[in-house]
């Protein structure tokens, strides 16, 4: 836990039911719930179905399937769906064959909606709730649980202090989100979702590329260059370089950001069946005038504050700079029997340095007096190194062909942070009504070690897809994990300590039944574990939190695979949640002992469709509805809405309007249930944002086969809304305009 998290902590009670013996009954109930959706459809052998990836195709398990980029006219319809994904099981399965909910944000949709960051993509992803705690930190949640599992090309990574959602999209070909527990591949984490970022690759054997220039609201200016070229005459060695530079002020007073991104990859065919990929990336964000902690809810008289959307608590010297660097290498080989092996090496390095001012309290409505300030200097440089070995291929049993995937992985992450404190008492804030950031920068102590830890995780997993009959497939998997964290002495750690969990078993089970050539019924049970540092009455660490996801529903492929649709019901339980063991203390201390208990149950349903409805007409639509309650039946995860609608559609005209594309969408959600205590009445009041919708619009015109211009208008109707944090709120963006021109060759 960093000091950022300590200041922003708001209690989330989580749980799970641990009775594994009831799992089959739960799956049966989910199947029964989904069966009415079939409306009398009769099962039949799906011999005419053409799955996107079969065992005989033996895709490379060391990375997600490579997306081949082909030249096309700027007026061609976009693809809003993808053929296959390995993010859930390590097996290359089509979306219909995967017994979990999967959303893929494709390169075309990233372009159409001008998704500048991974956060932009996640805000438009089915089931994902995205909230800004302030202008430097975000809260991501799916089905009532926080997201803490990120992958790069299918390789899990601890994102450290800087969340993976801050990354630029120029590096990635697509974004995949698997909802539910993903412990089979991720190991430790939350039972919410895993976000897989699929990097661009050098696949072109001819010189090709694109250039895009952007201008927009709040003095936004940007330039992106994406070039691919062969390095040898026969094209066996190829390179790709992506560079991006942009800067922008913000609708928030004083804030401005400069970003540079550089990415490069070399792909080499070492032989007919052997491929090597080596690459790296560097993203540097320099942010000035960034405010921290949000705006206070209350005036001193107990009335609600009503600030302008441009209001800030930042000073002119506030800074929040981050840097993310990666290096990776992948070597894969396919044998004559169609088995593939892959070796992955990955290195991640982050750096975050911030100099901020924390402003708290309740101001007088008229004079603006009454707020307190605390300056803060923070430095963190987490790293992670990882190696993994995978194997994937077909095998025959019982006269049928099946598929097996297996892997070994080891990672070591170094985390922690340094602090500096103000020397002497902080100066008064003064009249906050007239605040313009002119607050003197205080003298600070030298940086000192606040916390330092090293986390090692190793694991072995295997998953198989068994073709029990023509229409029926059984997917079984399991992972065995070892997790160890060593904590050093620091200002936040009085004595060194170690948390270790060995032989953590994580099962996976899924069943897919093809009821026709286009429709499949499915059910699954998945798990994940998350270590915790709470101690019991005997001085032992509690067992890890263990989340179990149950899901069932129906999936369909239409328009020759160009349209995917699904309907799912789900339930997530979390067990071993730490609660106070009343009357007991940790031996030798005055710290209250903790005990494991049942916690949160989240359950609900989702509907989703993505792809091409008709030639030129693309759609992405998702609806989510769920409840999240603790063992006593009280609502939890109050900062995130219970119902979400994510909708975007685009139409590419033909005939006399050839070259014109028009698109639009809306993100709608119900009210947040967040509550805070009124400082005058002492009563809790709801402070969460009420139900609201934010609409977007896009227009693109192809001037030629190589050149196009695009206009995006975000928050078309200029809806004023905010995200509630633990102590205040942050406004969402007002209406903004972005104009881009691109040239491809």
pLDDT tens figures, 591-601? 888 988 888 89
Place of tokens 């959303």: 103
Backbone angles phi, psi at 38, to 5 degrees: -75, -20
Number of domains observed in the structure of the chain: 1
Per-residue pLDDT reduced to its tens digit, 247-269 = 999 999 999 999 999 999 999 99
Q: Which of 154-158, 195-199, 518-522, 679-683 has the lowest mean pLDDT?
A: 154-158
What are the tens digits of pLDDT across the range 117-129? Answer: 999 999 999 999 9
The CA distance from 653 to 77, in Å, is 9
How many whole angstroms separate alpha carbon 59 and alpha carbon 158? 26
Average pLDDT over residues 347-370: 94
| pLDDT over 70, % of the chain | 89
Tell which residue, 451, 398, 489, has the closest CA to residue 1. 451
Cβ atoms of residues 122 and 129 within 8 Å: no
| pLDDT of residue 60 exceeding 70 | no
Q: Which long-range contacts (CB under 8 A, 24 or more apart) does 401-404 make?
A: 401/55, 401/56, 401/467, 402/55, 402/464, 402/465, 402/466, 402/467, 403/54, 403/55, 403/91, 403/464, 403/465, 404/462, 404/463, 404/464
Where residue 668 falls among pLDDT bands split at 50, 70, 90? very high
Q: How far apart are the C-alpha atoms of 224 and 242, rounded to whole Å?
A: 7
Q: Which among 231, 157, 158, 169 is positioned nearest to 199, based on CA atoms?
A: 169
Spell 145-178 as b/e; 16+ CB within 10 A means b. bbbbbbbbbbbbbbbbbbbbbbbbbbbbbbbbbb
Quote the tokens at residue 343.
């070796």
Model confidence at 160, pLDDT cuts 50, 70, 90, reads low
**pLDDT tens for residues 226-246?**
999 999 999 999 999 999 999
Compute the average pLDDT of residues 491-500: 88
Token pair recorded at residue 311:
């209001």
3-state SS, one letter per residue, for 451-486: EEEEEEEEEEEEEEEEECCCCEEEEEEEEEEEEEEE
User: Does the pLDDT at position 5 exceed 70?
Assistant: no
Beta 400-420 vs 728-731: how paired, if at all? unpaired
Q: What is the DSSP letter of 317?
A: T
Q: Do 465 and 417 form a contact (C-beta atoms < 8 A)?
A: no
Q: What is the three-class DSSP state of 447?
A: coil
Instruction: Kindly tell me if the per-residue pLDDT of 410 is higher than 70.
Output: yes
Distance CA 71, CA 235 (A): 17
CB 528 within 8 A of CB 188: yes
pLDDT band with cut points at 50, 70 and 90 for residue 47: very low
Q: Provide the whole-model pTM.
A: 0.87
C-alpha 293/C-alpha 358 separation (Å) is 7
CA dihedral 156, 157, 158, 164 (to 10 degrees): -110
- Mean pLDDT, the chain, integer: 88
Q: What is the mean pLDDT of residues 168-185?
A: 95
pLDDT of residue 422: 94
- pLDDT at position 598: 82
Name the least confident of 158-162, 284-288, 303-307, 575-579. 158-162
Nearest Cα to Cα of residue 530 among 481, 580, 591? 481
9, pLDDT greater than 90: no
Domain that holds residue 667: 3-744
Cβ atoms of residues 703 and 220 within 8 Å: no
- Residue 24: pLDDT over 80: no
What are the pLDDT digits (tens) for 318-342? 999 999 999 999 999 999 999 999 9
| Structure confidence at residue 27 (pLDDT) | 37
Average pLDDT over residues 564-579: 93
pLDDT value at 19 more than 80: no
Question: What CATH code is carried by the domain that includes residue 76?
Answer: 2.40.170.20
Task: Please check the confidence at residue 538 and state whether its pLDDT lies above 80.
Answer: yes
Q: Which residues contact 682 (CB under 8 A, 6 or more apart)?
A: none
């Amino acid at each position: 836990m960093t000091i950022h998290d300590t200041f922003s902590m708001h209690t989330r009670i989580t749980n799970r039911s641990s009775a594994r013996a009831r799992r089959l009954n739960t799956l049966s109930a989910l199947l029964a719930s989904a069966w009415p959706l079939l409306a009398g459809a009769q099962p039949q052998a799906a011999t005419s179905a053409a799955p996107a990836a079969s065992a005989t195709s033996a895709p490379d398990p060391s990375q997600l399937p490579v997306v081949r980029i082909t030249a096309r006219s700027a007026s061609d319809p976009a693809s809003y769906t993808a053929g296959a994904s390995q993010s859930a099981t390590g097996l290359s399965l089509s979306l219909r064959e995967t017994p979990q909910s999967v959303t893929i944000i494709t390169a075309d949709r990233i372009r159409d909606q001008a998704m500048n960051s991974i956060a932009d993509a996640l805000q438009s992803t089915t089931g994902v709730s995205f909230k800004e705690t302030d202008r430097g930190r975000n809260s991501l949640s799916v089905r009532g649980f926080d997201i803490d599992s990120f992958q790069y090309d299918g390789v899990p990574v601890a994102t450290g202090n800087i969340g993976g959602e801050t990354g630029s999209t120029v590096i990635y070909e697509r974004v995949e989100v698997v909802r539910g527990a993903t412990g089979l591949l991720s190991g430790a984490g939350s039972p919410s979702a895993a976000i897989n970022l699929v990097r661009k690759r050098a696949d072109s054997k001819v010189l090709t590329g694109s250039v895009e220039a952007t201008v927009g609201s709040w003095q936004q200016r940007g330039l992106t260059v994406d070039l691919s070229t062969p390095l040898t005459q026969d094209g066996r060695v190829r390179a790709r370089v992506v560079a991006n530079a942009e800067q922008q002020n913000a609708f928030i007073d004083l804030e401005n950001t400069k970003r540079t991104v550089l990415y490069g990859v070399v792909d080499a065919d070492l032989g007919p069946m052997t491929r090597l990929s080596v690459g790296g990336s560097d993203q540097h964000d320099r942010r000035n005038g960034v405010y921290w902690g949000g705006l206070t809810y209350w005036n001193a008289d107990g009335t609600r504050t009503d600030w302008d959307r441009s209001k800030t608590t930042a000073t002119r010297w506030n800074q929040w700079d981050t840097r993310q660097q990666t290096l990776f290498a992948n070597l894969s080989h396919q044998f004559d029997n169609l088995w593939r092996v892959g070796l992955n090496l990955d290195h991640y390095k982050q750096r975050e340095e911030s100099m901020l001012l924390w402003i708290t309290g309740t101001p007088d409505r008229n004079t603006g007096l009454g707020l307190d300030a605390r300056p803060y200097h923070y430095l963190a440089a987490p790293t992670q190194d990882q190696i993994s070995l995978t194997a994937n291929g077909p095998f025959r049993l019982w006269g049928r062909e099946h598929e097996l995937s297996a892997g070994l992985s080891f990672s070591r992450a170094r985390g922690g942070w340094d602090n500096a404190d103000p020397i002497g008492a902080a100066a008064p804030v003064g009249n906050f009504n007239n605040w313009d950031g002119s607050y003197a920068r205080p003298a600070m102590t030298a940086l000192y070690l606040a916390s330092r830890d090293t986390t090692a995780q190793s694991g072995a997993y295997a998953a198989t897809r068994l073709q029990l009959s023509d229409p029926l497939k059984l997917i079984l998997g399991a992972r065995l994990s070892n997790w160890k964290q060593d904590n050093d002495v620091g200002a936040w750690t009085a004595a060194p300590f170690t948390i270790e969990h060995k032989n953590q078993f994580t099962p996976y089970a899924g069943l897919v039944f093809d009821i026709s050539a286009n429709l499949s019924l499915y059910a699954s049970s998945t798990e994940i574990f998350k270590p915790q540092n709470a101690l019991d009455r005997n001085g032992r660490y509690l067992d890890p939190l263990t989340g179990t996801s149950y899901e069932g529903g129906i999936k369909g492929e239409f328009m020759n695979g160009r349209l995917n649709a699904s309907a799912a019901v789900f339930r997530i339980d979390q067990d071993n949640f730490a609660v106070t063991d009343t009357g007991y203390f940790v031996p030798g201390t005055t710290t209250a002992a903790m005990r494991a208990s049942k916690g949160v149950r989240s359950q609900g349903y989702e509907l989703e469709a993505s792809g091409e409805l008709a030639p030129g007409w693309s759609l992405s639509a998702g609806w989510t509805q769920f409840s999240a309650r603790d063992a006593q039946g009280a609502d939890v995860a109050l900062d995130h809405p219970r119902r979400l609608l994510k909708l975007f559609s685009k139409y590419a005209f033909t005939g006399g309007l050839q070259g014109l594309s028009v698109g639009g969408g809306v993100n709608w959600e119900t009210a947040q249930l967040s509550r805070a205590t009124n400082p005058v009445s002492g009563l809790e009041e709801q402070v969460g944002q009420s139900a609201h919708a934010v609409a977007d619009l896009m227009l693109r015109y192809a001037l030629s086969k190589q050149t196009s211009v695009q206009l995006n208008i975000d928050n078309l109707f200029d809806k004023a809304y905010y995200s509630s944090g633990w102590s205040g709120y942050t406004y969402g963006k007002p209406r903004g305009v972005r104009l881009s021109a691109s040239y491809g060759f």
